[in-house]
Chains A and B, each alone.
Chain A
């Protein structure tokens, strides 16, 4: 049996073995249908499969169309395996019986595509096109639909259909490249799909085909996305040597297409390997030498870019893994023919690597944390030389790579070697001048990454200055597209400086970015919003720095420029009919300035005045003002609030913008200047004709109520309750008046505050109702209270439970309500506690019990309390058990010397009404004395320690339980017990038997 082995290096044999090693889909089906004794992997099963294909094909040809329709599985299987290609590729040494092969032949010819195939043919090109577009419109909906289940299977089988043209098949493969997780959702399905794709690949006829490349990509994608990649996956072990063979440019035989296709396939194989290495870092650790050899080849060479990128990635991953493991490079870099000593791919490294495919430390800040990089590797001189040679080799040919690929190479190498000093970083120097000259975004970004990785080791102060100048130029160059301008501006504010001054991670202008450099980066009204905001931010940072310097007095300060710009923005926002985006931009700019320059009173004053002017010009922007007041700090927020309040109440209160004034006032009104506010509202009330305006008016009243305004407001509310036209408005006004008259200010604030239960909604009515619901009604809440039964008291005329209370948050006016199920006890009174705090231990609470029968029970407990925020809450606590022993009370102590007599009297009095019993009370190692002292001490009437005790227990309301514990033995004591209440007997028995366990 010819089976492929990982160390097999005869790729011609390999090709054959790959195609024949499994039966693909058909093999799977054959396995499921009939488990023949010899059906493992390999030949016998394949032959079983093929033989049945042949037979069925022959059979179908002879059948009537009606019967043919009844055999979908077989025909589709026949469709899957164009027998012609199988025959061409079948090894001559096949042990297949000649007769069977001959029998196949006629079926394999072109005639086989007879009417049978047409009837049962695969979905046509159009059908597939429809199906694919339906899928793409909404993959989840399609997969949930009736067709979803079959899609993955149909796709795989139709890839081998001769009815579909290559273009359609490419589109099928494109789908599998994008949605493997939907088509083959679990690892076994992905594994089977990858196998099937590989089968399809090796079965392609040897002419040029557009399918080879997407098939390789699809098999790789299926394995990775399905999570099937691994040393135990058959498909992985077929794909990897195939890819490595292709990438090495070895001749894989006719099955892999004409020579003209070799070079593109070589590149594709490199890409597939790179993706595998990306998802399984370290997988190709053993191939470094081989890859270096391939890249360094003279003469007919492979494509430089795919090999360079593959080598760079494998190198990066290996370095990272080895450095983390504290291992050296172990000669991995030395060129040598791969795999002579074993498999070229390193699952062990990859397993370590897989553990490292975790969120990594941000590579950006890595310059300081050298221990993650190569610095920890400490290569020996030999290894260092090899490493240097490998890096130099990659960099020397880097100009042959497409710019984006060059950038990737630099990121990878920079990442791998970061934090390193000395000769290695210097290798990059030769590339820098060339890179700095370009306008390519990726290249400049990669240079910045190198800057972050190596800092001073690669960039002197002069270099840093040059880099900043290039970056500044690029951020405004007319030839650079605007989105790239913005990204460069971002890079300027996060520039990885050699000697950063400020805290890392915050946006700041680099030290070397002087005002001269920034001249071209100032914002102007002609910029689009994003550019304006980005440049404005830079300007703010410069203003902040400028403030720290002494005033120069001469020339125009950046603050003045800033103020002019803001004035221009406000002018635009004030324009009647201007789009909302302009207003938004103006407020964003104001926010940015308030955020950056909060400490500069002159700027804040000018901003406040400007904004008030804007409100005067365009009150319709009130929602923006409310939002701004919500977002900014007190430096701008407080003066702006006061100024806006003054601005609004100075209005006559009857203009068109009343709605906005009221909205504004609801935000800014407070206890100050109440007379002005109230007279404005009084004047406005007459103009509030519709419901919306009345609600807006009431919103302001509500805000004033919350602010604690009382005097004049009561009059206003009373007036509104009569005056408003809308009954809803009147009701609200009346309600507010009632609240104002009856609730203390703190409670009022809570009642009208934003709902704690649900986020406030835009509708005043809903928000209001929620506020009331929250504040005036009792809320169901999870209890912040824990209640437990403390030690027994066993004194007094009736049993009293001692309750321990603990709270998780402060609780006020706590009322605990208890209820006993059934009629066993008299109703229990509530327990009141004024205040409980988590930090302060509370005294135990006493709960007197009034049993009607001496029986244990459970108490249902509810708590009613007020929270810190003033809400009244109700909580259901876990039930409290009242045990039999909780009811025990002692008899009054008889005069000294008469105890025994008293006991005997009690003992005798139990009969005949009651009952007597004897039982065995097991004792623990501590003995009888300890047991009695722990549980029965208060009830002992006569004691003769350590072996004899007479115990009398009173059980309210009027029962008794008498115990004689005498002649104790090592493991137990016989107990004679009498009670005057039959019903107590089982409880007493349980209690006594439980004692030793409790001890």
Chain B
């Protein structure tokens, strides 16, 4: 399992080449093996320029899709994974692992230890998951805490040294590049005990443990009799353990109140040493009932130096925090809209912020708005064809607020107004953005007293939690809802 080469490419629409290779690295010893393993099907790694062109074409980033191009648009040219075959110089380079994130394209070519024709299934190529992990690692490194281009450039310039550490010969040794950076900086001497590779050194200082639980709530609400609303909560528990010693042991327990919603689909950090089978098997696939395991969820682990995500989970809470409807109707030249939002009584009525964004797609700029709000205020962004209803920190005592009005649009320009492939005709949505501190929807919390630390000194333990909205949509109930084209999830006959 190894990588033959890797690239970082910034996607620059509007420029001549539509992109620039910001970083590339080749591994000639792996290439040597590829030549032997692939035999007659071997295709050498191309130089940066031809690779860039082929990749941008394949990813449809050359913005020239005016005409039908068979090699790209043919119906049988189907990609179901982020792994591509790139036509370069009349031959095909495969497999190329590539994805785009934040305007940067990450790509690598894993070694396949056999002939490439017929193509072996991806699952049998160990270098594929390694390639992904390498690219995810680089992405995390580049964008963790990065705020501007200067920082990005600094981090890019550190990459050659970091990869010398983390991937010297094309075989990835650690996807956590921050850890590699730390280990360059730690001039460690001898260690009396076996040191984990994922921990570059040891912490010296005041012991402390901080645990933070962040829950995101998603929702799709339709206000329709025949379409079921959906909502889902997913949480992440982030820890930073500043503890002395090479292998301090910590156990963190997550608890739920009596009416809390069980945690499901729990994925843990690899530093967790053991896992209760109830945690492993609690799954959102199963029907919910009272017998579901509801904690406490114990996670024994040996922490790495840096801040890390101890676990992720999902949950099915009985009600969405805010239930609402959005009605939009086209009446001659104007749109008539009505919005109603209701905060559930069980939810903490103390927001850091709460806003409803009401965008209008595939139309011209807003020319005129008449409206009435029962609470908060409305901001109009004419050119963006967007209304923002600023609700503020609290819902009123009734817990229910409303907005109604009419919106008129100008002629549709071609460039400026937002296009959307889903919001066609009456299909429209409003999206809620909110954040509540010191609150989780599941009720999940980390009790300070239940945190066990087996290390010298009594650590200071701090916890915090928050709920934030993410993809919280309320669809226009006066038009067909997208995505959920059908009433409910089909009941497939039992196989």
Contacts and interface: CB of A to CB of B under 8 A. Distances in A.
B81 A556 contact: no
Contact of B32 (A279, A436, A438): A279
Interface stretch (B187-195, B331-339, B372-380): B187-195
A561 B65 CA distance: 30
B302 to A, nearest CB: 8
19 contacts: A178-B25, A181-B31, A217-B168, A358-B36, A400-B196, A406-B270, A407-B126, A408-B130, A434-B272, A437-B267, A439-B268, A442-B133, A478-B312, A483-B99, A494-B121, A526-B482, A545-B495, A568-B485, A588-B75
A384 to B, nearest CB: 26
Contact of A411 (B126, B195, B485): B126
B271 to A, nearest CB: 8
Give the residue among B25, B32, B36, B82 with the most A Cβ atoms within 10 A: B32
Interface of A is mostly: helix
B132 interface: yes
Interface stretch (B143-151, B170-178, B348-356, B431-439): B170-178
B102 interface: no
A224 interface: yes
A177 B484 CA distance: 53
B411 interface: no
B28 interface: yes
A469 B121 CA distance: 21
Interface stretch (A335-343, A513-521, A679-687, A845-853): A513-521
Contacts of B49: 138
Contacts of B493: 515, 546, 549, 552, 557
A491 B265 CA distance: 18
Contact of A303 (B67, B195, B275): B195
Contacts of B47: 138-140
B430 to A, nearest CB: 16
B78 A494 contact: no
Nearest to B194: A304
B218 to A, nearest CB: 8
Contacts of A494: 121-124
A546 B493 CA distance: 7
B451 to A, nearest CB: 20
Interface string B10-41: 00000000000000111111011100111100
Contacts of B277: 433
Given A260-B189, A631-B76, A404 B482 contact: no
B73 A580 contact: yes
Contact of B80 (A278, A402, A469, A533): A533
B127 to A, nearest CB: 10
A174 B160 contact: yes
Contact of B280 (A433, A487, A567, A578): A433
A433 B39 contact: no
B490 A631 contact: no
A958 interface: no
Interface residues of B, number: 122
**Minimum-distance CB pairs A-B, first 7:** A515-B492, A364-B124, A479-B312, A439-B267, A623-B68, A305-B197, A445-B129
A926 B266 CA distance: 96
B422 A525 contact: yes
Given A178-B28, A479-B234, A580-B73, A473 B265 contact: yes
A564 interface: yes
A481 interface: yes
Interface in A395-442: 397, 399-408, 411, 433-434, 436-442
A469 B283 contact: yes
A443 interface: yes
A575 B421 contact: yes
Interface residues of A, number: 153
B273 to A, nearest CB: 7
Nearest to A222: B28
B287 to A, nearest CB: 9
Nearest to B179: A402
Given A400-B195, A406-B270, A627-B73, A516 B285 contact: yes
B487 interface: yes
A259 interface: yes
Interface in A182-198: none
Given A518-B492, A571-B424, A530 B81 contact: yes
A402 B492 CA distance: 41
A883 interface: no
Contacts of A792: none
Contact of A487 (B33, B128, B492): B128
A22 B459 CA distance: 59
A526 B129 contact: no
Give the residue among B197, B218, B275 with the most A Cβ atoms within 10 A: B197
Contact of A402 (B114, B169, B187, B198): B198
Interface in B256-286: 265-270, 272-275, 277, 279-281, 283-285
A628 interface: yes
A55 interface: no
A558 B196 CA distance: 49
A259 to B, nearest CB: 6
Contact of A407 (B99, B130, B483, B485): B130
A400 B197 contact: yes
Contact of A624 (B68, B168, B197, B267): B68
Interface of B is mostly: loop
Interface in B463-491: 482-491
A360 B234 contact: no
B415 interface: no
Given A136-B24, A174-B160, 19 more contacts: A138-B49, A220-B29, A225-B32, A263-B188, A301-B194, A403-B175, A405-B174, A442-B130, A479-B267, A487-B82, A487-B129, A490-B123, A505-B121, A516-B285, A520-B284, A525-B483, A530-B80, A568-B483, A580-B68
A408 B482 CA distance: 43
A359 B97 CA distance: 21
A136 B424 CA distance: 48
B123 to A, nearest CB: 4
Given A438-B268, A439-B267, A478-B234, A624 B422 contact: no
B28 A180 contact: yes
Nearest to B36: A357
A221 B232 CA distance: 51
Nearest to B72: A584
Given A433-B275, A469-B281, A303 B197 contact: yes
A434 B196 contact: no
A239 interface: no
Contact of A224 (B29, B195, B274): B29
Nearest to B183: A264
Contacts of A364: 120-121, 123-124
A179 B126 contact: no
Contacts of B195: 303-304, 400
Interface in A538-585: 542, 545-546, 549, 552, 554-558, 560-561, 564-565, 567-568, 571-572, 575, 577-584
A852 to B, nearest CB: 56
B66 interface: yes
B270 A491 contact: no
Interface string B136-164: 10000000000000000000000011001
Contact of A486 (B81, B113, B161): B81
A357 B33 contact: yes
A362 interface: yes
Interface string A294-317: 000001110111100100000000
Contacts of B275: 433-434, 437
Nearest to B197: A305
A158 interface: no
A862 B38 CA distance: 46
A524 B194 CA distance: 49
B172 A556 contact: no
A260 B279 CA distance: 43
B314 interface: yes
A487 B132 contact: yes
